[in-house]
Each structure stands twice: as C-alpha cells, then as structure tokens.
Chain A
C-alpha cells in the first residue's frame, strides 16, 4: 500500500535560518510524483514544489528546495532564509500510476506544523 510519513508533528525555526521538513514514502509504483503543499491558518492549500521520480536533479522553487533521495524513499523540503509568513502546516503528498486501486490520486501525509520565531 502507498503511504506518506511525516514524523515531525511540529518544528520551530528562527527567522532567517534554514529548516528541513522530513517526508518518507512507500510505493511500488514504477513512476510517481512528490508534492509539497503549505496550509496557512486560513485553510487554503498552496502548492509549493514538485519532484518526479525520474528527475535527475532536485527540484527548487525560490526559497524552497526538495532533497530527493530515491533509494531511501525520502523527499524532504528545505526552506531557506525562513520568514514569519512561513509559519503554517506543511504537507507532503504523492501521486502514482496506481494508488491502491485509485489511479492517479494524491495521498497526503499528516503534516508538520512549522513555527518561525522572530
């Protein structure tokens, strides 16, 4: 069965420092995509970054980068130069060719609550 695991329920980081949010996954799909979303207190889910399983390079989007280690099945999100506005819930998600019989759906981890200290 496919699964996303985020082992850090909460994290604190000092403003302007970098922080890594962990994500491990389990899948037997030959191809899959990994996503990170941010959920501020308003509730809306905001797409941050995507990594394909066959991508040779780690994805980057501005201050966000994804540390993809395929052999370890990990896809950690790195946020550089943290800002107060980064305080939010962060979710790791995966989409594969066939996910438990539901083709192509996004499955999510339980999330990590990031708090940025001034």
Chain B
C-alpha cells in the first residue's frame, strides 16, 4: 500500500524542548514538503526538498529544521526557537515539482506545547 506516513499523530512538547516529527513515503517521489496549518490560516510552507540531500526554506522556516538523507524520509524538527509551535503539521510528497503535479499528503501530526 503506497502512501505517506506521519508519526506520531499527537505530540506534546514542553516549552524549551526540541521535538522531531516523522514523515516517510513509499511512493518513490522526489519532492517532499512540510506545511503548518493553524485555524483560519490555511497551509503555510515550512520547508521543501526537491531531491535527496537538498532542501529549501519556505515562508515560515524560522524555528524549524529538516534533513533529507534518504529519498523516502523527510523529518521535521521543531526547535525551542519556534515561539508558537502548537499547530497541525502536514507532510506531503510529489513525483516532481511540475506545474501539473499533485501532492499527496499524510494524515498529519497535531503538536501541542504544554
């Protein structure tokens, strides 16, 4: 069964801690993305990667970091520098970044700071 798996589904973080959100895909897609979703804000791009060992900042990268060491994996670390990390995080992938290429999404991770 091909798809994108995000884990965990729910995550709680204490203030000052770093946490890592997992995203794995078995679709053999080159491109992967991380979005943040807040109520009423739509999806905002955090980081994206067009190919292994390469990634670029999106619109709201401050306080986040990523790595792309393997084609199928694109983990997102929410660092203590992110002042308001409570949100719903969505990972996506696409076969490439052509204008007609749809993105496939995971089920999301809901992060709450306690």
| Interface residues in chain A, defined as those with a beta carbon under 8 Å from any beta carbon in chain B | 4, 6, 9, 31-33, 35, 37, 42-45, 47, 50, 52-53, 91, 95-97, 100, 102-111
Contact = CB atoms under 8 A, between A and B. Distances in A.
Given A43-B108, A44-B105, A44-B108, A33 B100 contact: yes
B2 interface: no
A42 B48 contact: no
B43 interface: yes
Contacts of A111: 42
B41 A52 contact: no
B42 A96 contact: no
A102 B56 contact: yes
Interface string B24-52: 00000001010100001111110010100
Most chain A beta carbons < 10 A, residue from B96, B99, B104: B99
Contact of B58 (A9, A33, A105): A105
A91 B45 CA distance: 14
B16 to A, nearest CB: 27
Contact of B107 (A44, A50, A102, A110): A44
Contacts of A42: 107
Contacts of B98: 95, 104
Contact of A33 (B45, B56, B99): B99
Contacts of B99: 31-33, 52-53, 95-97, 104
